[in-house]
Structure 1
Amino acid sequence: MFFASPLATPTRTSRTSPSIHPRVSITPRWRRCGRFNGPGASRDTTCEPCSTASDEFDTPLFATAKTWRSLTPFVSTRHAKTYRDGRPKMDDNGWQEGSAPHDLLRLLSLNPRWQGAKIRRNVPERIQPFEFGSRKFRSLQFQTIRHGGNGRRGHDSGAAFVIEFPEPVSGPIAVGYGAHFSLGLFVPIDSRSL
């Protein structure tokens, strides 16, 4: 949720901002409520969502489900760990420490809503690539490296996963390196369609 400071000056937002879905804007529209307390006084500005109607966010990203699949590649924030002789260091669940699955479980356990989640790798990309409309992409085709900034990431190009929660959770779910740039984004699926 965004909050404006009392000294903030409101700016106009475009009603025709780019969108992921025809009914959901990337930049949320905000209603500004401001008042002057007298001549020369500072402006008191508060921001709140324009609408909380359920049809405003009619997209799978905001749905509630128990099973979620990768829409974009999950990129780990850690490097896979090995012993000096090259053997991989394994955790109690059988995943290599620092690998993408291990890091995904670690990141999911940080959120109390996502406790107890189980994951599995999605089918290989050559069989089922990431699809956007009629276009199909492999994880190597996504920009997974920031050319500016100091973000931490593992050295792999990303992987696809299926997350199963013990109880239905609501979205959006975006985790891992570049989650604020749409990497590691998950959408709900029906468990019967796997």
Structure 2
Amino acid sequence: MGEVYMPQANPDGLLDHVLIHVPAGIDDDMCRFLGALKTLKGFDGREWRLMLEHIGQRNDFESVSPIVQTASVWQSQTPYLHPWHCKKDFDVPAQIRRECRERKLPEPIEIPPIPTIKPHGRELRPIDFHRFRSKRGLVQPDTRGSFWQLTFAEPLTGSLALGFGCHFGLGLFTPVDTDG
């Protein structure tokens, strides 16, 4: 998997940072490109000013972003969209387990669904999020989304993003407890 864009909200619940996780590392050309980005246009045509704050290793961000911490229990921060069509013996928890195996992550030992999340004190359902990608020929098996709590036998170090659209901020999980 390539780079993953993980939105981060301030205490008021407004998006004010994006953490870009690049497992293969960032070369000099990418550093220059990211540093040169000054604005971003939203779907509504509004422009957002951008500023590159830091490029570094995962542990450089532990004190400022919960998504790179270590925990045994992780909870949805954005809706998980299952990446395959559900079948009789292939429900959403089975898809989460398969995806963890394919990404060389440990399989969760518990995967209960969560009806709502409460970031910044505001109760949200999956339907409250933008959950669609419009790209010609793209098949999106899940357009509703769901929230989950994943419990692992051993602490897992983030970032953790799973499912359809996870490289654009969907399926993002944050730690419920920190062990590290």
CA-atom RMSD in angstroms: 3.3
CA distance in 2, matches of 1:168, 1:120: 15
Is contact 1:118–1:164 with CA below 8 Å preserved after alignment? yes
Q: If the length of structure 2 is used for normalisation, what is the TM-score?
A: 0.65
Paired position in structure 1 for 2:13: none
Which structure has the highest helix share of the two?
Answer: 2
Deviation at 1:130, TM superposition (A): 2.3
CA distance in 2, matches of 1:71, 1:160: 8
Is contact 2:61–2:68 with CA below 8 Å preserved after alignment? no
Structure label with greater radius of gyration: 1
Unaligned 5+ residue runs, structure 1?
19-24, 31-48, 82-88, 91-96
Paired position in structure 1 for 2:54: 29
Question: Against the structure 1 CA distance between its residues 52 and 181, is the aligned structure 2 distance closer, same or farther, given a 3 Å change threshold?
Answer: closer
Deviation at 1:64, TM superposition (A): 0.3
With a CA cutoff of 8 Å and minimum separation of 6, indicate the structure with the bigger relative contact order.
2
Indicate yes or no: 2:141 matched with 1:141: no
Unaligned 5+ residue runs, structure 2?
1-24, 41-49
1:114-129 to structure 2, matched below 5 A, reads 114-123=105-114, 125=115, 129=116
CA distance in 2, matches of 1:184, 1:9: 26
Secondary structure, aligned partner of 1:13: helix
Secondary structure, aligned partner of 1:136: coil
Amino acid in the other structure paired with 1:79: H
Of stretches 177-186 and 114-123 in structure 1, the one that deviates more from structure 2 is: 114-123
Paired position in structure 1 for 2:27: 3
Q: Percent identity?
A: 23
CA distance in 2, matches of 1:143, 1:53: 30
Question: Against the structure 1 CA distance between its residues 145 and 66, is the aligned structure 2 distance closer, same or farther, given a 3 Å change threshold?
Answer: same
Deviation at 1:117, TM superposition (A): 2.2
Q: If the length of structure 1 is used for normalisation, what is the TM-score?
A: 0.61
1:96-115 to structure 2, matched below 5 A, reads 97=90, 99-112=91-104, 114-115=105-106
